[in-house]
Structure 1
Amino acid sequence: MIIQPTPELKRYTLPQLLRARARHEGSRVALRQKDYGIWNEITYAEYYQKVVGFAHGLLALGFQPGERLAIIADNIPEWLYAELGTQAIGGISVGVYQSSLPAEIAYVLDYTGAALVLAEDQEQVDKLLEIRSEIPGVRKVIYEDPKGMRAYAGDPWIIGFTEVLRLGEEHARANPGAVETLIEKGKPEDVCHLSLTSGTTGRPKAAMLMHKNLIHMGVALQQVDPLKPTDDYLSFLPLAWIGEQMMSVGMALAGGFAVNFPESVDTAMADLKEIGPHVMFGPPRIWEGIQSSIWVRISETYAFNRWVYRRLLEVGYRAAEYRMRGQAMPLGLRLAYGLADQVLFKPLRDQLGFLRLRRAYTGGAALGPDVFRFYHAIGVNLKQIYGQTEIIGIAFVHRDGDVRADTVGKPLPGGEVKIAENGEILARSDAVVAGYWEKPEATAETFADGWLHTGDAGYLTEDGHLVVIDRVSDVMHTASGQMFSPQFIENKLKFSPYIKEAVVFGDQKPYLTAFINVDPQTVGKWAEDRGIAYTTYIDLSQKPQVAELIRKEVKAVNDSLPEHLRIQRFVLLYKLLDADDDELTRTGKVRRKFVMQRYQPIVDALYSDAKTVRVEAEFKYQDGSVQKVATEVNVLEAAPLAGAPGSYVAR
């Protein structure tokens, strides 16, 4: 018997649901992990056995119900064993981004009061040793990968994952029913996991996820987009992110499909091609990055091939308009698309690992409409979702045949939405979390009156689609009082294969300006093809030829915008915005106010007559060292004013 994703599952906790699958379909594959080039399969029975074994090990270490265990690791089965093992005995797991710096980890562990930490390898253990004096509440650090750990053998603070399992075996022999008894005591309304918010406006808060939240999401989304128990999913985004928790925990346990773990972060895209998943989820940066890589490959081929690509892509774009609306294509277009699919799109999807892909989602930030059209043109059923950590990642999703690039779809089954008087989006469902850990004031504000106050501005169309404008706090007005969303313009800029990131300014200003990060991969290739030598990213970004290249891209975007939304001046930022420098969140969102404050001299230059601005660049490295470099950044205009060389205005 295969358990189906029905609302009845919400009466279980996550460990109870895993136990049910182990009992009824124990021989089915639940997880796969690639190790030394081989995909190793783990059945539901083995999955549950590992979870129970780790739970016994925690009890042997004195871990108590209600305590927190933090996990800092890449995507490995042991993350799930630790998370569900902690939850099985009434504990609470805490996800920590593996890319976090020691100071960030210290904040999370202190804030959540973690008693134990699972750290994947020596790199993560070394971070913890660096901050050991700052986290006195951590009693034990558990490492999973023994490589390089021999030097720490005499430290009682550090213990191996296999040793915890061995202690668990001893505890199980002495107390055979201890874990099962605690699993039975679990309730769907129990807080089971702490998931960090993006932290775009300050330090991240920890959302308190309940079992029923994740299971509701797994059930509700599959009512819209059913998945098969034989389907495959590749887990390569950080498990500390709510999107990956939603897919690898909530969706996987509710739907029963297999979760596949790549050999490493570096091999994830290659492993994706081997697995050929049926469902995929990723933030815009993933889809934008794949599109850029396609562009680079096409640009390296022969002129005739590039011409064929452009002609067939035009056919794909026309077909996409019908596919996204769920309308039948005219016979001529259907035949033309069939040819284009056989010649280009199907081989392209095969090379990307998308040949079996039926469901593809993007969320975490807005994705530009042109990117949507591109993926539907090549036959990828990409759909926007909208949600937040506080509502388990998804509250709205496009339906098949009703995909609109300017909306985020309709509410999931069981969800409600309304728009407040100030335009803020309010939502509620069984996916809304219990609040923020140790933040009663923030909880009261965000979850007032039984509704999740999203902090985003938007409106509903006549047929129930939600249109998200921007963060309420980020919506801006020009000096003349015209409202605009900087994110909308930024997304249009980022559709260019040469632009990796953009930050638009203009609140209470006479015109709009922008910071632009050029894409080092595509712009570097463009420069090499033209014999333009460069050394560093700073050097590349300030080349006059690159300035002209990006000026054309900005002009193309300006031509598609009303006059008051056009960029008039911009700079090519001398460094990539980086989460390690607090300029981006760990999920890749721009911390707009922080960026503005950090680069205030450049912002001031954009609203002056300056042609250049002198700055001191600061670069942080993973070993904690800092390098400072003085450089000069050019202030660029959007388009030349006819008849006045050197003077520029927007057109």
Structure 2
Amino acid sequence: MREFSVPPLATAPRVGGLADAVFDHAGSDPGRTALARKDDAGRWQDVTAAQFRDEVLALAKGLLAQGVRFGDRVGIMSRTRYEWTLFDFALWSVGAQPVPLYPTSSAEQVFWMLHDAGVSACMVEHEDHAMTVGSVIDRLPQLRRLWQLDADPVTELTAAGAHLEDDVVHRHRMAVTPDATATVIYTSGTTGRPKGCVISHANFMAEADNVVQRYETVFHSRPGDEASTLLFLPLAHVFGRMVQVAAVRGRVKLGHQPELSAAALLPDLQSFRPSFILAVPYIFEKVFAAARRKAEAEGRLGPFEKAVDVAVRYAEALEHKAFGTASGPGAPLRMQHQLFDKLVYSKVREAMGGRVRHAMSGGSAMERRLGLFFAGAGVTIYEGYGLTESTAAATANPPERTRFGTVGSPVPGTTVHIAEDGEIWLHGGQVFQGYLNNARATDAVLRDGWLATGDLGALDEDGYLTITGRKKEILVTSGGKTLSPVVLEERVRAHPLVAQCIVVGNDRPYVAALVTLDPEAVGHWLRMRGKPELPPTDLVHDPDLETEIRRAVVAANTLVSQAESIRTFRILAHQFSEEHGLLTPSLKLKRKAIEAAYATEVEALYRA
């Protein structure tokens, strides 16, 4: 199939902007819990729709009093927290345009984005961020204001705007139109300088409203309960931003969690108890790995692995039933599943708060078997696909017919087209307006309303999309063999000990790989085998460890032909990190930077 289209469910508004939902909801249902935030004691406190409106309005008046004007761009450099959402909607209330910056951005990256966007004011989280901006401020003459969240600028701004009438904000808000720019989000940039994606209010509305209508049933753990989600994705990324907008527009209770680490996230999931979550595969991999390590430490690895197998077979049987190719799980499988639900699956669900029955995943591909396991364990993960340029999701698996291992079919209002060379093209109301100050780059990806994504994929007979790679990442060996490295890398990463894998081989005689290790998993592996803790530089030479990683490579090679298989590999002592310029803020590999940083190790892979 070359093209598949799904008609829209939501009609695009002809007037207004994103902030209107805050005021409309407060007017129609002021006492509804709209958000929750932690108090100083770490307890979750509900924020009603009326309270949130009042805070947005007061902050919007303060921004006007401090010189923020209609059409101004205002930088936000912070982790995910309540105040970011508050600032977003206050800025949209006065027609300003938030420009998110990753909190890990370097001084030069911060300079480039603030300069390119012409930012006139900036809100940062803490003193370190303020120093980063301060180190380049002499080159940013247009930057007039700098606020620091940890210094409580909300109180300061609220006081500054107290003398203004509410109507001043409303006049600004009424002047916002759907085609006005809502935000400029900079791509994380695997190569070259980040580009500013101009996303309109209408883009967010088309994306959020169609997703909310199509997936509203999965927002609840059971029919009739309160829909709630804990947002822990970075708000500097389009996925997190879309979740924020969709939650506010869709009347979903929204909480914020600033850290993606399992140690910080899992306790908040258990205290907030969301009804559904939106995450990247990394989170689900961590939950699974933690459950597996716990079972092994308690001497129950055998039963755990059996439970995994039963969950996968159970979910696979339900998948066949949904597509009409089988009748569903048989009685013996149902009995086994019921037994393991009490012993294993309920504990996995409890790790995510206990109420979660549905989740959405994006940002990168999820291994099919992992998706099947979670579905069999009672948490169905709907994998999707999108880009910053498509305001997040362009495709997602439908609730009633999830095809694991694919990224689903087009979300309502979207058309997916596969070009002759296999490139994925997208069309719909969520396709962005272009790159800021970069007509050449815009013309390269926007063609008569179609977005050329740079990703490669295939549509099956039911319109489900499978991602097969990126055009720029295709490897060609010196023997002329062409392959996409992604499939191999993802399969190697499926091994519990592996953190990252990068496949190399461009203009080389064969394919090879560099592999990094998960320290937590390796520590557990050493303890279970009675091995001493070793420095990373010594650990990578452990023959038993090398045997484990070889198993992962052999498993990956079963997916491809012999000419495409990984012939040799090297285990590295340290992970690729954003700090060293080897990962993007969204954790994608910077391939050229990695190959340059590890040129010696790559050369060693090809020595006779």
**Could you state the TM-score of these two structures normalised by the residue count of structure 1?**
0.86
Match of 2:288 among 271, 286, 291: 291
The structural deviation recorded for 1:176 is 4.0
Instruction: Give 1:207 shift.
Output: 0.9
Structure 1 stretch displaced more, 405-414 or 240-249: 405-414
Q: Work out the CA distance in 2 between the residues paired with 1:252 and 1:176.
A: 25
- Residue of 160, 164, 179 corresponding to 2:157: 164
- Tell me the SS of whatever aligns to 1:136: coil
The residue type paired with residue 336 of structure 1 is: Q
Q: 1:194 aligns with which of 184, 193, 204?
A: 184
Q: 1:243 aligns to what?
A: 239
The answer as to whether partners of 2:181 and 2:198 remain within 8 angstroms in 1 is: yes
Residues 263 and 93 (structure 1), Cα distance of their counterparts in 2 relative to 1, 3 Å cut:
closer
Aligned length: 586
* Match 1:204 to one of 180, 194, 218: 194
Secondary structure in 2 aligned to 1:579?
coil
Question: Structure 1 residue 506: deviation in Å?
Answer: 2.1
**C-alpha displacement of 1:9:** 5.3
Deviation at 1:39, TM superposition (A): 0.7
Structure 1 residue 6, shift from structure 2 partner? 4.5
Is the CA contact 1:416–1:429 (under 8 Å) kept in the aligned structure 2?
A: yes
Structure 1 residue 269: Cα displacement: 2.0
Counterpart Cα distance in 2 of 1:375 and 1:582: 33
My pick for the range that moved more, 38-47 or 103-112, is 103-112
Equivalent position of 2:88 in the other structure: 83
Structure-2 separation of matches of 1:143 and 1:198: 24
Whether 1:276 aligns to 2:273 is: yes
Superposition deviation, residue 551 in structure 1 = 2.0
Alpha-carbon deviations, 1:89-132, whole Å to 9, x = none? 11110111112233322222122111111112223223222333
Structure 1: stretches of 5+ with no match in the other structure: 147-158, 610-651
Q: Structure 2: how far apart are the matches of 1:600 and 1:351?
A: 41
Structure 1 residue 575: Cα displacement:
1.7
SS of the aligned residue for 2:486 comes to: helix
Q: Which residue, 55, 66, 73 being the options, matches 1:50?
A: 55
Instruction: Tell me the SS of whatever aligns to 1:182.
Output: helix
Partner of residue 4, structure 2: none
Letter in 2 for 1:322: A
User: 1:41-73: per-residue Cα shift (whole Å, max 9, x none)?
Assistant: 111111111112111111111122111111112
Amino acid corresponding to residue 320 of structure 1 in structure 2:
A
Q: How many angstroms does 1:492 deviate by?
A: 0.4
8 Å Cα contact 1:324-1:400 kept in structure 2 = no
Displacement, 1:137? 2.2
Residue 183 (structure 1) aligned with residue 178 (structure 2)? no
Tell me how far apart the structure 2 counterparts of residues 230 and 573 of structure 1 sit (CA, whole Å).
47
Partner of 2:358: 359
Does the 8 Å contact 2:475/2:485 carry over to 1?
Answer: yes
Using a 3 Å threshold, how does the CA distance of structure 1 residues 545 and 312 change in structure 2: closer, same or farther? closer
CA distance in 1, matches of 2:196, 2:239: 15
What RMSD, in angstroms, separates the aligned Cα atoms of the two structures?
2.0
Asked if 2 retains the 8 angstrom alpha-carbon contact of 1:206 and 1:436, the reply is yes
Write the distance in 1 (CA, Å) between the matches of 2:88 and 2:16: 16
Contact conserved, 1:458 with 1:470, CA < 8 A, in 2? yes
CA distance in 1, matches of 2:433, 2:191: 21
Is 1:566 aligned to 2:565, yes or no?
A: yes
Shift of residue 559 of structure 1? 4.1
Q: Kindly indicate whether the alpha-carbon contact (under 8 Å) linking 2:481 and 2:564 is maintained by their aligned counterparts in 1.
A: no
Give the match for residue 645 of structure 1.
Answer: none
Pick the aligned partner of 2:226 from 218, 226, 230: 230
Deviation at 1:536, TM superposition (A): 3.7
Distance in 1 (CA, whole Å) between partners of 2:560 and 2:471 is 22
Distance in 1, Cα, partners of 2:73 & 2:555: 51
* DSSP 3-state at the match of 2:162: helix
Gap change, CA 1:360 and 1:10, over 3 Å in 2: farther
**Counterparts in 2 of 1:84-123, with a 5 A limit?**
84-123=89-128
SS of 2:343's equivalent? helix
Q: Any idea what the Cα deviations from partners look like across 1:302-340, whole Å, max 9, x if unmatched?
A: 2xx222212222211210202334253222222221222
1:414 matched to which residue of 2?
A: 413
Q: Is the 8 A contact 1:512 1:568 kept in 2?
A: yes
Report Cα offsets for 1:156-179 as digits up to 9, x if no partner: xxx933211110112x2xx44211
Q: How does 1:405-484 map to 2 (within 5 A)?
A: 405-484=404-483
Contact 2:311 2:374 in 1 (8 A): no
- Measure how far apart 1:10 and its partner are: 6.7
CA distance in 2, matches of 1:282, 1:339: 29
Counterpart of 1:188, as a letter, is P
Counterparts of 2:141 and 2:583 in 1: how far apart (Å)?
A: 29
CA shift, 1:607, in A, is 1.4
| 1:379 paired residue number | 378
- Is 1:256 the counterpart of 2:246 in the alignment? no
Gaps of 5+ in 2: 1-8
> What's the offset of the Cα at 1:472?
0.9
Which whole-Å CA distance do the structure 1 matches of 2:112 and 2:535 have between them?
34
Specify the alignment match of 1:614 in structure 2: none
8 Å CA contact 1:10–1:215 kept in 2: the answer is no
- Could you tell me how far apart the structure 1 residues matched to 2:561 and 2:287 are? 30
Q: Per-residue deviation at 1:482?
A: 3.5
- Note the C-alpha offset of 1:259: 0.4
Q: Is the 8 A contact 2:79 2:234 kept in 1?
A: yes
CA contact (8 A) 1:385 1:394 kept: yes
Deviations 1:429-448 (A, max 9, x none): 11111111111111111112
The superposition leaves residues 270-293 of structure 1 with CA deviations (integer Å, 9 ceiling, x where unpaired) of: 111122212211122222222222
Q: What code does the residue aligned with 2:520 have?
A: Q
- Equivalent-residue separation in structure 1 for 2:465 and 2:540 (angstroms): 38
TM-score where L is the length of structure 2: 0.92
Q: Pick closer, same or farther for the CA change 1:10–1:606 going to 2, 3 Å.
A: farther
Equivalent residue number for residue 328 of structure 1: 328
8 A contact 1:457–1:472 mirrored in 2? yes
